[in-house]
Structure 1
Amino acid sequence: MPHLALYTFGVLKSPLADPAPLTHEFYDIGETVYREISQRPGYLAHAEAAAGDRGSHFDLDWGAWGEFAVPTWYGKGRTGETTALAATLSLWTDLRPAFDAIYTGLHRAALNRRYDWFERAKHPTYAFWWVSDGAIPTWQNAVSRLEHLHDHGSTPHAFTFHHAFGPDATPIRIKGIGPKSDQVR
């Protein structure tokens, strides 16, 4: 059975190495949110640097998730002192569990504060796509999907909650979000 890949990308107002309290707060909340999300039904895995390394995303060993990459519109730093981004890459069983994890609990509370930490985006901040069972999406593929979503809108290749597609490329919607379609999950 296919799995759902999710890539999120945001540009932070200040570098991750910034000693300001707001940056530390973002780190602390992020770690707590990840712990909560990893316990959610439907969650399968997320990209983690080998041995829990911290530092510049660009220099870390991401194992099967591949070399770290960013969208073409990211124009801030790429060193440990200058990197100003937050990116996640995860696998889910389906759209409904991903939606429930993102829009409830600690993650929902963090979303409500996103503009404290992130610049307002002129580009999509997340993209979904289906991968075959056992496949691990790579950072490069994730960036390609997000850029495709930006250039072409939601398609079976890359889509959002509001305009979602099933593994068979048919439009679907999650009850309570997005335009009406034939299937409701």
Structure 2
Amino acid sequence: MTGNHIAQFNVARLKYDIEDPRIADFVNNLNRVNAAAERSPGFVWRLREEAGDYTAVVDDDPMVIPNLSVWENVESLENFVFKTVHKRIYERRTEWFGVMEKMHLVMWPVESGHEPTVKEAWERLGHLNEHGSSGHAFGWDHIPSANLWRSTRCETSAA
């Protein structure tokens, strides 16, 4: 891998409208999880709206929620995802999100200081789905040192 940092993008499809009470626990924990990310060792940057969280429409679908961030390295990202409050929310994903037909998570190397766009991230995800893992776009299974994902993999659910 080239680049000094790692970008990650994941999308999830809501089962219910973002205003639906069945999604309330997810929505009510967004700020908490995002704050934990920003305090995590190795966190560099995350996409956000002016209001504070990025829940904008992706691919003209209001039910698809994007998440885009940059980390110093894969280990930092892996520790945040599987060793913080994020894990407790992630474990409840089937309550709020439906099954995605294709890969919904992609990572790729970025130069220090680069803030990827949703368009760039979407293109990387498309590349992963079309061509499989490579240095250009990959998932957890492409990183030999990443092991925490194996016990929480998404075999039947979205991110």
- Provide the TM-score with structure 2 as the length reference: 0.84
Match of 2:91 among 87, 102, 112: 112
Q: For the Cα contact (< 8 Å) 1:161–1:174, is it kept in 2?
A: no
Name the counterpart of 1:45.
45
Rg larger for:
1
CA contact under 8 A between 1:6 and 1:90: conserved in structure 2? Answer: yes
SS of 1:143 mapped into structure 2: helix
With over 3 angstroms needed to count, the CA separation of the structure-2 counterparts of 1:51 and 1:121, relative to structure 1, is: closer
Shift of residue 113, structure 1, vs aligned partner:
0.7
Do the aligned residues in 2 keep the contact of 1:40 with 1:101 (CA within 8 Å)? yes
The one of the two structures with greater contact order (alpha-carbon pairs below 8 A, sep at least 6) is 2
SS of 1:162 mapped into structure 2: helix
Map residues 95-106 of structure 1 onto 2, 5 A cutoff. Answer: 95-106=74-85
Cα deviation, residue 175, structure 1: 5.1
* Cα distance, 1:50 vs structure 2: 2.3
Q: Which residue of 2 aligns with 1:31?
A: 31
Query: Alpha carbons of 1:176 and 1:25: their partners in 2 closer, same or farther (altered >3 Å)?
Result: closer
Question: TM-score with structure 1 length normalisation?
Answer: 0.73
Alpha-carbon contact 1:9-1:87 (below 8 Å) kept: yes
Q: Which ranges of structure 1 fall in alignment gaps of 5 or more residues?
A: 59-68, 71-76, 165-172, 179-185
Q: Distance in 1 between matches of 2:53 and 2:115?
A: 20
The answer to whether structure 1 residue 139 and structure 2 residue 118 are counterparts is yes
After superposition, the Cα gap between the structure-2 partners of 1:52 and 1:177, relative to the gap in structure 1 and judged at 3 Å, is closer
Tell me if the contact between 2:5 and 2:112 (Cα under 8 Å) persists in the aligned partners.
Answer: yes
8 Å contact kept, 1:16–1:85: no
CA contact (8 A) 1:8 1:126 kept: yes
Once the two structures are TM-superposed, the CA of residue 41 in structure 1 deviates from its matched residue by 0.3
Q: Percent identity?
A: 25
- Given the alignment of the two structures, is residue 93 of structure 1 paired with residue 72 of structure 2, yes or no? yes
Q: What residue number does 1:176 align with?
A: 147
Give the letter for the 2:49 counterpart. Answer: A
Q: State the AA in 1 paired with 2:30.
A: G
The gaps in structure 2 that reach 5 residues or longer are 150-159
Please give the root-mean-square deviation of Cα atoms over the aligned residues, in Å: 2.1
Does the 8 A contact of 1:7 with 1:87 survive in 2? yes
Distance 2:84 2:53 in 1: 27
Check whether the contact 2:56–2:66 (CA below 8 A) recurs between aligned residues.
no
